[in-house]
Amino acid sequence: MRVYLDNNATTKIDPLVKVKMQPFFEDLYGNPNSLHQYGMDVRPALNVALGEMYDALRVPDADDILITSCATESNNAVLKGIFFKYILKNPEKNHIVTTSVEHPSVLDTLLYLSDFGVDVTYVDVDENGAISAEAMKAAVTDKTILISMMWANNETGMIFPVEEVSAFAKEKGILFHTDAVQAIGKLPIDLTKTNVDYLTFSAHKFHGPKGIGGLCVKKGKSLPNLLHGGEQMGGKRAGTLNVAYIVGMGLAMKQTVNHVQMMNTYVRKLRDKLEDAIMQIPDTIVVGPREMRTPNTILISLRGVEGESMLWDLNKAGIAASTGSACASESLEANPVMSAIGEDPELAHTAMRLSLSRFTTEEEVDYTIDVFTKAAERLRSISSTYAYTNEVA
Ligand code: PLP
């Protein structure tokens, strides 16, 4: 049996999305900016796809949805755009507030910008992996130009207080960006009801194709053009549009948002079943209260069991999980979120993430419970650290 439990890293393409994209690799290959029939033939599908995205996130018509190549690009574009548009021109307002557990596409970009005089405050998570709205507000100074806070964390699934902090930002005249990559399809999102100025998303996290993402930009909050050299997207991001992928992203987003309810019932139930079973294993920790997490995610740690060893045991049995974000998994570092939470270093090294999707089945969960429990027993029986810890205890 093969079981894919790494849906926070990427997801399988929804079969309906694949079918919808296919004609754009065949006869419908025109450039939508061409004036001839080939160009005209693809334009309606592009408009449908954009309409699907506006509807799915309830983005007001006056706001923009810019298509990018991925969430990493969207996050870079917001942070560097704010730097060029505001901070470079008025260094008095050079302060950005963020959290210490953002995706590297935010953290590394801010680190880069700090070389150019940007002052960044990183608000830490508490022992549950939660971000307090009060701590975010307290970090703001009269120099703050932007708050950037993810909507849900990729490692723990913890949901951050975007509504409250974005309302506060608006009150103070501070711009607000959220990386909503892990929230779309898991939480209901309605941009008519929030004060979010910039919202990042990525199709491959919700059963769309890889290499395509987007950025919602509130009216009046435009950024410098992301790419120069063409009139696509009103000149805001030049480059020939990737029609097939945009069409795929539109349908994938519509589908994923239509399944939010299913995520919060069916997937949540499967996730809870898996978590309950794993929690039966002694000395096991799951980060964050369930009700504060996205319904598909578990970040778990078993004392005395190396995350990497467990992954290999699972992998041998056909189960895919991860020790953290796929971007960091080539280096066998401690899980960055566990480290930020302040768990003891031994636990940080054992952290493992299991993330489900609406395509996960109960049979797969039952199989995983069986394999996981036996692997934990096996690995503990050969773990000197675990035996030692137990003796001391
Ligand atoms: N932001 C978050 C929260 C993510 O989880 C990821 C991917 O892991 C990204 C951004 C980057 O997404 P992309 O692969 O589309 O660049």
For the chain, the maximum distance between any two Cα atoms, rounded to a whole number of angstroms, is: 78
Q: Tens digit of pLDDT per residue, the chain (393 long)?
A: 999 999 999 999 999 999 999 999 999 999 999 999 999 999 999 999 999 999 999 999 999 999 999 999 999 999 999 999 999 999 999 999 999 999 999 999 999 999 999 999 999 999 999 999 999 999 999 999 999 999 999 999 999 999 999 999 999 999 999 999 999 999 999 999 999 999 999 999 999 999 999 999 999 999 999 899 999 998 999 999 999 999 999 999 999 999 999 999 999 999 999 999 999 999 999 999 999 999 999 999 998 888 889 999 999 999 999 986 444 444 445 677 777 777 666 666 678 999 999 999 999 999 999 999 999 999 988 876 665 455 544
pTM above the 0.85 mark? yes
Candidate list 327, 328, 329, 390, residue with the active-site label: 327
Residues with CB under 6 A from ligand 1: 70-72, 103, 105, 150, 154, 179, 181-182, 202, 213, 325
The minimum-distance atom of ligand 1 relative to the CA of 203 is 15
Q: How far is the CA of 322 from the centre of ligand 1 (A)?
A: 15
Q: Side chain identity at 218, as an amino acid letter? A: K
In what order do the strands lie in the sheet containing 144-148? 64-68, 213-217, 198-202, 175-179, 144-148, 95-99, 119-123
How far is the C-alpha of 323 from the C-alpha of 267, rounded, in Å? 21
Residue nearest to atom 8 of ligand 1 (CA): 9
Q: What element of type H or E holds 389?
A: helix 384-392
Torsion of CA 181, 148, 163, 131, to 10 degrees: 90
Helices (H), 205-332: 243-258, 260-262, 268-279, 307-316
User: Which string of b and e fits 26-60 if b means at least 16 CB within 10 Å?
Assistant: eebebebeeeeeeeebbeebbeebbebbbebbebe
Residues contacting 99, CB < 8 A, separation 6+? 122, 123, 124, 125, 131, 136, 149, 150, 160
- First-residue to last-residue Cα distance in the chain: 38
Catalytic residue flag (residue 327): yes
Residues contacting 45, CB < 8 A, separation 6+? 24, 28, 243, 247
Q: Which residue has the tokens 């992996």?
A: 129
Domains and CATH numbers, the chain: 3-10+260-392 (3.90.1150.10), 15-258 (3.40.640.10)
Q: How far is the CA of 202 from the centre of ligand 1 (A)?
A: 7
Tokens of 76: 């870079």
How far is the C-alpha of 95 from the C-alpha of 106, rounded, in Å? 15
Using alpha carbons, list the distances in angstroms from residue 21 to 17, 127, 181, 213, 248: 6, 44, 22, 16, 6
| Cβ burial, residue 128 (10 Å; 0-12/13-18/19+) | middle
How far from chain centre, in Å, is Cα 233?
A: 24
Backbone phi and psi for residue 207, each to the nearest 5 degrees, phi listed first: 70, 25
